[in-house]
Amino acid sequence: MHWIHDTVIYNIYPLGFCSAPKQNDFQLTYRLDKLYDFIPHFKKMGVNCIVFNPVFESSRHGYDTIDYKKIDSRLGDNESFKRICNALHQNGIRVMLDGVFNHVGREFFAFRDIQERGMGSSYTAWFQNVRFDQQSPYGDHFSYEGWAGHYDLVKLNLQNNDVIEYLLDAVRFWIDEFDIDGLRLDAANVMDVNFFKRLRTVCKDKKPDFWMYGEIVGGDYNRLANPDTLDSVTNYEIYKGLFSSHNDRNYFEFAHSVDRQVGDWGMYKNIYMYNFADNHDVTRLASILRDKRLQKNVYTMLYCMPGVPSVYYGSEFAMEGVKQRHSDDDLRRPLDLNALENPDYDLFEHICRLGHLKHRLEALQCGKYKNELIQLEHMCFSMKTDGQKVYVLLNQSGEYRIIGINTNFNGVLTDVLNDNQQYGCNGWVEISVPPMSSMILVENDGFFRVDYPDEQAETVIAPTQATSEPVETRVEEPALVPEEIVKGRYRHFKGGEYEVIDFAKDSETAEKMVVYRALYGEHDLWVRPYEMFREIIERDGKKMRRFEKID
The confidence score (pLDDT) of residue 169 equals 98
- The whole-number average pLDDT for the span 297-305 is 98
Judging by DSSP bridges, how do beta strands 9-12 and 368-374 pair with one another? unpaired
Q: What amino acid occupies position 28?
A: L
The confidence score (pLDDT) of residue 473 equals 33
State how far the Cα of 459 lies from the Cα of 91, in Å rounded to an integer.
6
Q: Structure pTM?
A: 0.84
Q: Which residues pair with 422 in a beta bridge?
A: 414
State how far the Cα of 307 lies from the Cα of 223, in Å rounded to an integer.
18
Residue 472 has pLDDT above 50, yes or no: no
Domain 7-102+160-236+271-363 class? Answer: alpha beta
- Sorted by where each begins, the domain ranges of the chain are 7-102+160-236+271-363, 103-157, 365-444, 488-549
pLDDT in tens, 236-268: 999 999 999 999 999 999 999 999 999 999 999
The confidence score (pLDDT) of residue 332 equals 96
Q: How many other C-beta atoms are found inside a 10 Å radius of the C-beta of residue 468?
A: 11
CATH of domain 488-549: 2.30.30.320
- The whole-number average pLDDT for the span 336-355 is 96
Q: What amino acid occupies position 194?
A: N
Asked if 377 contacts 249 with a C-beta cutoff of 8 angstroms, the reply is yes
User: Per CATH, the architecture of 365-444 is what?
Assistant: Sandwich (2.60)
Range of lowest pLDDT (41-50, 121-130, 287-296, 456-465): 456-465
Which residues have CB under 8 Å from 327's CB, separation 6+? none
pLDDT in tens, 374-391: 999 999 999 999 999 999
Chain mean pLDDT for the chain: 93
The confidence score (pLDDT) of residue 480 equals 77
pLDDT in tens, 414-464: 999 999 999 999 999 999 999 999 999 999 999 999 988 765 555 666 466
CATH 3.90.400.10 fits 103-157, yes or no: yes
State how far the Cα of 498 lies from the Cα of 518, in Å rounded to an integer.
5
Residue 331 to residues 233, 313, 328, 455, Cα–Cα distance (Å): 21, 10, 5, 30
Q: What are phi and psi of 149, to 5 degrees?
A: 80, 5
